[in-house]
Amino acid sequence: MEASVEQLVYVREDSYTVARMSADGEPGFVATGRALAGVQPGETLRLHGEWGRHARHGRRFAVSGCERVTPSSVRAIRIYLGSGLVRGIGPRLAHAIVEHFGEATLKVIDAEPGRLTEVVNIGPLRQAQIVEAWREQKAIAALMVTLQGLGVSPLLAAKIYQAFGQDADEVLATDPYRLIGRVRGIAFRVADRIALQSGVPERSPQRVRAALLDRLEAAGSRDGHCYLPVAALVRETAELIEQDQDLVHPQLDALVAERRLAVETSPAQPGQLVAYAKHVHAREQALATHLARLLRARSTLPLRAFREDDSLHDDQRAAVTMALTSTVAVITGGPGVGKSHTVRAIATAVRQAGGTVTLAAPTGKAAKRLSELTGLPAMTVHRMLAQQSDPEPGTLFDERPSRADLIVVDEASMLDLHLATRLVAAVPSGSHLLLIGDSDQLPSIGPGDVLADLLRVPGVPRIQLTHVFRQAGGSGIVEAAHRIRAGRMPVTPGRGGFWFEELDDPDQVAQRVAHLAMVAIPRKQGVEPSQVQVLCPMRKGETGATALGRLIQDRLNPAADDKPEHWSGATVFRVGDRVMPIRNNYDKGVFNGETGTVTAVTPAERTITIRTDDGESVAYGFDELDDLTHAYAISVHRSQGSEYPFVVAPIVAESGGIMLRRKLLYTLVTRARAWVVLVGQREALELAVHRIGSRRNTGLARRLSLTLEAPAAET
């Protein structure tokens, strides 16, 4: 039958879709199945399948296949145009257009678009917008058909079109490997499936080279490695493409000759060859060079006698002296040791001497927290770098912030190789760079382990603050954190702030975590559920961030007929949802790690509006929703740099507990300000406490050491 999609009810991660449909003679029925993947409200489909009855939900149409067709009846055309599929047309305008052109409406838009101005309220500008949106929608629909024929999820069609526009068909037909890295959600396996279906030979050089580059990219994005041993890279590539290793070696050499890969002796094992992606290799070299430049430079910091702060501990005084006398320095320490107070004392001393200070952090949330703790203005590293040539007028930073006499970067464990290189390159010789961090926290999401590498280089001044102050020492969170970093179980009976609740069944754990976050803690502490953050070691699984986030969303903000919503893949955004940007966007003024609330879903404009917790209103297009995630439950990695009043977390050894390790558990516990509650298996908690985790493959420490040992003229 032919039917129109009225509403998406549910979309699962595996693309299983439940949709409300309507058709002549069958108004208001439900269709289900994976064949519905990617359908949108307003589309007309030709469905193949059979009627059945669900024990709880009643009569349903199980779809085995579907095709998109052009709406032909007046009713179907009105639904199509009024759904928001064509940007710029809402229900009222759709009614006016269809009222004027009837069944010929879509033919007019397609073949005689100039006639749209015959309709009241459509001028030349809106007519052009409608025509452009119509063509874009047609192209995406055609891409969906192409992808389905290639056995690839049609949900990727809009992302491919966004990346390549009118060239999308040509890319799919001639070089699908270009999709890797350009389209989120497409790694080698998806691109390779498209390529093989398009006739690319299994042993083609193009395929082997794409696989080599993919293995290096995956090592960086998944495990944080900057390089892989050549032997491991060749083996993993051959396994990925199911070919002999002999086929891989010549293409590895070709990529080196083309300067897309760099091969050199291992920094860890002399005699072993390792391979870098060229851009990673170049940045590691540049970072070492610029760090050596700063370390060797003569300080331009104006030094005068500064007032002693009687509130400082001995190691804090030593840290102040180090920061004022060393052009590059590192201060580390766990919770409660006074890192923020030390930063405030250092900044005060520099300002008293007539110098300038810039405080920064890798994320917006971390920068805001740094400002709150020190009482001084702070910004993200990204914003600081963006302002190095064009400072924002009227801000507290009326000079180039990266040119300050002292630049302090907090949460330095979050600095990946790419951001650290841009940061250090922007600092002029003679300025002081002070990195503050906790080396026991998780390293950066991106490649590298910059803070840990600097601590391995004897030539880099550093101080570890170890004295836990009395007001922090009484906290169960601080005690639990210090027990974890020492490899001891963080069970502290009778001490407020930390609690472990033992449960074995993952489903029960998920239900208990959700109940604590939504009901128990808010009721007991007299706070809103938004003050309780669920943190998850994993993204997938019953207790992963995806499943728990959806569980909490469905209970705190369920679907309702009067509540606008939009499905983006398997994620639904509703008015009232708590969300979080996962990328800095300076045009919008939003930053990774901030939180906000969805205030509007506007299908006609294909936008979602959020209000950040700072009160700013920001619009995201439907094609930008990969930059947003729900904030009901997030990964521990995603929480770095942030702090929450209350934290609840599942600790379960699902999938072997591959993410459970000491640094992750330590980072999780130290995100809480008042209370942290862990729910799960005792053996999983023990696993997390005792598993150290492997070191990342990085060459920065050795590269910097060699650079500092070499005569200055040679660098």
C-alpha span between 194 and 187 (Å, rounded): 11
C-alpha span between 218 and 635 (Å, rounded): 19
**Cα maximum dimension of the chain:** 88
Q: Report whether 336 belongs to an annotated binding site.
A: yes
The dihedral through the CA atoms of 190, 193, 195, 197 has a sign that is: negative
Q: What's the one-letter identity of residue 270? A: P
Residue 445 burial (10 A CB sphere; 0-12, 13-18, 19+): middle
Task: Count other C-beta atoms under 10 Å from residue 587's C-beta.
Answer: 6
First to last CA, the chain: 73
Query: Phi then psi for 112, rounded to 5 degrees?
Result: -130, 60
Q: Report whether 340 belongs to an annotated binding site.
A: yes
- Count Cβ neighbours within 10 Å for each residue of 145-177 and write b for 16 or more, e otherwise: ebbbebebbbbbbbbbbbbbeeebeebbeeebb
Q: Report whether 337 belongs to an annotated binding site.
A: yes
DSSP-derived secondary structure for 67-114: EEE---SHHHHHHHHHTTSSTT--HHHHHHHHHHHGGGHHHHHHH-GG
What's the residue count for the chain? 715
Q: Report whether 532 belongs to an annotated binding site.
A: no
Cβ pair 684, 657 in contact under 8 A: yes
**DSSP label at residue 428:** P
> Which structure tokens are listed for 361?
């952090």
C-alpha span between 188 and 666 (Å, rounded): 34
C-alpha span between 434 and 429 (Å, rounded): 14
Q: Is 33 left (phi over 0), alpha (psi -120 to 50) or beta?
A: left
For Cα atoms 158, 160, 162, give the angle at the middle one, nearest 5 degrees: 65
Helix and strand totals (H; E) in the chain: 25, 26
C-alpha span between 414 and 448 (Å, rounded): 10
Angle between helix axes 124-149 and 157-164 (nearest 10 degrees) is: 120
Cβ pair 343, 546 in contact under 8 A: no
- Binding site, residues? 336-340
- Binding site for ATP, residues? 336-340
